[in-house]
Amino acid sequence: MRTAITIMMTFALAAISGCQTSSPRGGGMTKDAGFKIVVPTRDTTVQQGDVRAVTVSLQRGAYFKQDVRMQIKASDGINVGPTDILVKASESPEIQVQIATTTNTALGSYIVSVTGTPKTGEPTSTAFTVKVVAP
């Protein structure tokens, strides 16, 4: 019984952690003085002519207390917004990114890149994939 519970917990943790990925560390290079950008791991699916919200967040180290400018860019063919936002140290580290397509958007995969630049320290970036499908 104990083995079965352990196996189920392991699968549950793998499923939860498999939903997001993070960037290399930015800001200060020590774990507690830096930050990472967390984006969806799996392809984000959006139908042609639809809008979908995706959460992008900052994972701050315990001693990282800076504002971070987030710049979001998408491949030609899809639109994202906001494209430039300042995430203040005193605010929630999560932002909602709207991904919009038109009825004429070509089916296929598109890349959305996210770059975070702190007031001082090193910037970091990561990307996620948006898959446009037929309605």
Give pLDDT tens digits for 36-61: 999 998 889 999 999 999 999 999 99
Kindly state whether residue 8 falls inside one of the protein's structural domains: no
* Identity of the amino acid at 117: T
Predicted pLDDT of residue 33: 83
Kindly state whether residue 2 falls inside one of the protein's structural domains: no
Count CB-CB contacts under 10 A for residue 107: 11
Which CATH number fits the domain that encloses residue 57? 2.60.40.10
| Domain interval for residue 28 | 20-133
Kindly state whether residue 121 falls inside one of the protein's structural domains: yes
Kindly state whether residue 76 falls inside one of the protein's structural domains: yes
Is the model's pLDDT at 12 over the cut of 60?
no
As for how many domains the chain has, the answer is 1
Kindly state whether residue 6 falls inside one of the protein's structural domains: no
Position with higher pLDDT, 22 vs 42: 42
Predicted pLDDT of residue 40: 92
Predicted pLDDT of residue 43: 86
Tell me what the mean pLDDT of segment 19-47 comes to.
Answer: 76
CB-based contacts of 1, cutoff 8 Å, min separation 6: none
pLDDT in tens, 57-116: 999 998 999 999 999 999 999 999 999 999 999 999 999 999 999 999 999 999 999 999
SS3 for the chain, per residue?
A: CHHHHHHHHHHHHHHHHCCEEECCCEECCCHHHEEEEEEECCCEEEECCCEEEEEEEEEECCCCCCCEEEEEEECCCCEEECCEEEECCCCCCEEEEEEECCCCCCCEEEEEEEEEEECCCECEEEEEEEEEECC
User: Which two tokens mark 52?
Assistant: 């979908």
Kindly state whether residue 78 falls inside one of the protein's structural domains: yes
Is the model's pLDDT at 11 over the cut of 70?
no
Predicted pLDDT of residue 117: 96
